[in-house]
Amino acid sequence: MVNPLIDVSELATALASAAPPLVFDVRFPPASSGRAAYQEEHVPGAVFLDRDAVLAGPPGTTPGPTGGRHPLPDPAALQEALRDLGLTADHPVVVYDEGAPPVGSAARAWWILRWAGHPDVRLLDGGFAAWKNEGRPTETATVERPRGDFTVRPGSMPVLDAAGAAELARTGALLDARVAVRFRGEEEPLDPIAGRIPGAGNLPLGDVVRADGRFRPAAELRPKIEKLIGDADSVGTYCGSGITAAHTALAITAAGYETPALYVGSWSEWITDPNRPIAKGPAT
């Protein structure tokens, strides 16, 4: 399995090689100004990838795979957009976002590209902040690459729907990646209903990344993960809309576990059906 993380030194060496990776800049508000930040400066050779325009379909308000704030993109539309950005099947990819929390856009890119069947995608640990902090060069010119030929093969990563998430919460381990106050239903700044999926555990972003945005080492992550999943045969993640949950899925993968299934619609899709149960308060 390809290590899902790459550090600044490794990326700098790869970019100086005869066959450099394709780098996607996936910075997105509120962590940065997105495309404007890219135009101001970016990793040399990086292509801007708009998270919401490319890596998600239009927000949906009905139960099902098109529900939630960031549903799966249409495979044909995704393929066209990725080809326009120069993606080819045999070209390694590195993705990065701002790096300092809030993070998640680059992990969403990692997950969607892997779901689409790309075999070699890595995330720059610490993101653009780490690149800048090490004094690495940047450029301002918008990068345009020859059209690619990547073929999207959807389903290459495990996906959960609402029924699957509910079942996994009962029989396996379903991990909620939101902050504790949202998990407990005490606050909900983004969705109209507060709470969580009954039976879920909580593995918030702060438990998997450090203050500088870098992932915690595997040796530090594994006890946290093990405490939540125990001997469960199947593991899944969810959050508000499938962005932070992808970051948690990557962290679990980087810690040496099998990549968990992702409930892409997450809480924003769960609450579209009033018949689905809602839990609040501390986990039991």
Using CA atoms in the order 261, 264, 269, 275, what is the torsion angle rounded to 10 degrees?
-20
- Structural tokens at position 167: 């079942």
What does the block give as tokens for 11? 């990326």
Q: Which residues pair with 122 in a beta bridge?
A: 94
6-43: b or e for each residue (b if 16 or more CB lie within 10 Å)? bebeebeebbeeeebbbbbbbbbeebbebbebbeebbb
> Could you give the angle at the alpha carbon of 175 between the alpha carbons of 278 and 116, nearest 5°?
110
The partner residues of 47 in beta bridges, in order of sequence, read 24
Catalytic residue numbers, as ranges = 239
Cβ-based neighbours of 232, under 8 Å, separated by 6 or more: 172, 173
Q: What whole-number distance in Å separates Cα of residue 103 and Cα of residue 247?
A: 8
Q: Which amino acid is at 233?
A: D
The radius of gyration computed from the CA coordinates of the chain, to the nearest angstrom, equals 18
- Strand 159-160: give its sheet, edge to edge: 159-160, 261-263, 235-238, 173-176, 201-202
